[in-house]
Amino acid sequence: MTSSVAVLRDVAALRAAVRGWREKGERVALVPTMGALHAGHASLVTEGLKRADRVVASIFVNPTQFAPTEDFSKYPRTFDADLAKLAAAGASACFAPGVEDMYPKGFCTAVGLEGPAKADLEDRFRPTHFAGVATVVAKLLNQAGADCAIFGEKDYQQLKVVAQMARDLDIATEIVGAPTVREADGLAMSSRNVYLSPDERTKAVAIFGALSTAAGRIAAGEVLGHVMADAREEIVAAGFAIDYIEARHAETLDRVARRADGPIRVLAAAKLGATRLIDNVAVPHD
């Protein structure tokens, strides 16, 4: 039997819980999420428990990181099931503030970003997204005051943006990246996968297939430009409309021309029908 998770509805409750754990000498990990939890999120809790005694997961569908054309209002919300998954994964608490708690009347501050946030990847297609993400994550990190916070490599550019932001703003919480959890066929788990029709779901694995093949071929020394052109073709042939598919430096996200410019990460975003999927794979290196 798993123990239950305390639901903390505002910042005062979060701070009181964290203070109580700290008084007992316990370390605390934060796992920020937007809910609709799956095994990928649970793995972040597991990672947190390797580094801390207590994990608090936040569930907040952050309106400021969605463009008006995006899926904020229909983003899946499954709070009760989420709490059960957090309990099963071993989290101690769920911080679930309301929009009015995070953005009270008169709220008017945002984090300004350059560097990895302007890599010409996600930011090309979602120009306001990372300002929303960085601002809400800065708030969550300040609110929780955790020892570490765990983010998925699934959202690779986001992980780099958050790490840079925390470094630049001297936020004391250590930012930790955790590997992408995949379905049996390789599709990266995502709360948005529920939007896929059965036919789209079958095709969806092509994005991971193409990225994995590309990563293997680059590692084997093939010409990067040819490899990426083939990967693009493979994804288009599966029925995707590509936003980007690129090989980038794994740390800076700068463009790379050859394997020696690495470590390299191959990253893609593409739409299958109305659903936009993103994924990325590391190029193995010696």
Contact call for residue 151 and ligand AMP (CB under 6 A): yes
Contact call for residue 248 and ligand AMP (CB under 6 A): no
Contact call for residue 181 and ligand AMP (CB under 6 A): yes
Q: Which of 187, 253, 264 is nearest to 220 (CA)?
A: 264
Smallest distance from ligand AMP to CB 88, Å = 16
> Measured on CA atoms in the order 138, 142, 147, 150, is the torsion positive or negative?
negative
Size of the site for ligand AMP (CB under 6 A): 17
Between 33 and 135, CB nearer to ligand AMP: 33
Question: Catalytic site residues?
Answer: 41
Q: What tokens appear for 86 in the block?
A: 């957090």
**Gap between the Cα atoms of 156 and 179, Å rounded:** 10
Contact call for residue 82 and ligand AMP (CB under 6 A): no
DSSP string, 226-272: HHHHHHHHHHHHTT-EEEEEEEEETTT--B-SSGGG-SEEEEEEEEE
- The residues, ordered by sequence, that sit 6+ positions from 119 with a Cβ below 8 Å of its Cβ are 157, 160, 248, 253, 254
- The residues, ordered by sequence, that sit 6+ positions from 21 with a Cβ below 8 Å of its Cβ are 28, 53, 54, 92
Between 183 and 243, CB nearer to ligand AMP: 183
Out of 17, 28, 34, 55, the residue judged to bind ligand AMP by CB under 6 A = 34
Smallest distance from ligand AMP to CB 53, Å = 21
Four-point Cα dihedral 180, 59, 23, 25, nearest 10: -10
Out of 46, 58, 190, 193, the residue judged to bind ligand AMP by CB under 6 A = 190
Stretch of residues binding ligand AMP (CB under 6 A), selected from 13-21, 124-132, 188-196, 211-219: 188-196
Stretch of residues binding ligand AMP (CB under 6 A), selected from 8-16, 138-146, 164-172, 175-183: 175-183
Contact call for residue 135 and ligand AMP (CB under 6 A): no
Between 97 and 152, CB nearer to ligand AMP: 152
Contact call for residue 95 and ligand AMP (CB under 6 A): no
What distances in angstroms separate CA 73 from CA 63, 81, 278, one per listed residue? 9, 19, 20
Between 130 and 151, CB nearer to ligand AMP: 151
Out of 5, 41, 232, 246, the residue judged to bind ligand AMP by CB under 6 A = 41
Between 150 and 227, CB nearer to ligand AMP: 150
Contact call for residue 191 and ligand AMP (CB under 6 A): yes
Out of 48, 97, 132, 152, the residue judged to bind ligand AMP by CB under 6 A = 152
Please give the backbone phi and psi of residue 202, each rounded to the nearest 5 degrees, phi first. Answer: -65, -40
**Gap between the Cα atoms of 85 and 42, Å rounded:** 7
DSSP H helices in the chain: 11-23, 39-51, 79-89, 99-102, 122-125, 129-144, 156-168, 198-204, 206-219, 224-237
- Cβ count near 237 (within 10 Å): 11
Out of 54, 154, 160, 203, the residue judged to bind ligand AMP by CB under 6 A = 154
Smallest distance from ligand AMP to CB 226, Å = 29
**Which residues of this chain interact with ligand AMP, rule CB under 6 A?**
33-34, 40-41, 43-44, 151-152, 154-155, 178, 180-181, 188-191
